[in-house]
Amino acid sequence: MKGKHLIYIDESTFNHWQVPNRSWVRKDTILNMPSNRGRSITIIGAISEQVGIVHYKIFHGSNNSDTFRQFTCELIKKIRGRATVYMDNLTSHHTQQVKDMFTERVEQRFIPAYSCALNPIERLWHLVK
């Protein structure tokens, strides 16, 4: 990746037994839906409108500051040239360790709260789910 890029980061979690909470059944039919969500898989992704998917990481469990810091480190190593990285306001995005990774070459910016429509990677997660 060369030149000035806008990169958008977001994460999404999928449960092994993810099922809809509604279903069509015949009258007087009992449908037992699983109540245990099971293990979860999380994916963190970075997308650029110029390049497409720039970087992603898939792992079991939930995202935390350590997994996000590792993802960010891997992403920054892939970026050649200048970039602005946009992310939401998840707590793990605001740690000092993550903030210290960004420089003038690769800037960190935050999308306003409750503005997921501004993050193009949300459309990808919608398609995947």
What average pLDDT score do residues 82-94 get?
92
Task: Say if CB 7 and CB 85 are below 8 A apart.
Answer: yes
69 has a pLDDT exceeding 70: yes
Rounded to the nearest 5°, which phi and psi values hold at 82? -100, 150
Give the length of the chain.
Answer: 129
pLDDT of residue 19: 61
What average pLDDT score do residues 101-107 get?
92
Instruction: Quick: pLDDT tens for 23-67.
Output: 677 888 877 766 666 778 899 999 998 888 999 999 988 888 899
pLDDT of residue 44: 95
Runs of H (alpha helix) within 23-120 = 65-78, 96-99
Query: What's the pLDDT band for 74 if we cut at 50, 70, 90?
Result: very high
- Among 40, 41, 56, residue whose Cα is nearest residue 8: 56
Task: Say if CB 62 and CB 92 are below 8 A apart.
Answer: no
2 has a pLDDT exceeding 60: no
Instruction: Quick: pLDDT tens for 10-27.
Output: 999 887 666 666 667 788
Report the domain count for the chain: 1
Domain interval for residue 124? 5-128
93-106: burial string, b at 16+ Cβ within 10 Å, e else: bebeebeeebeeeb
pLDDT of residue 20: 61
What average pLDDT score do residues 70-77 get?
94
Which CATH number belongs to the domain containing residue 76 in this structure? 3.30.420.10
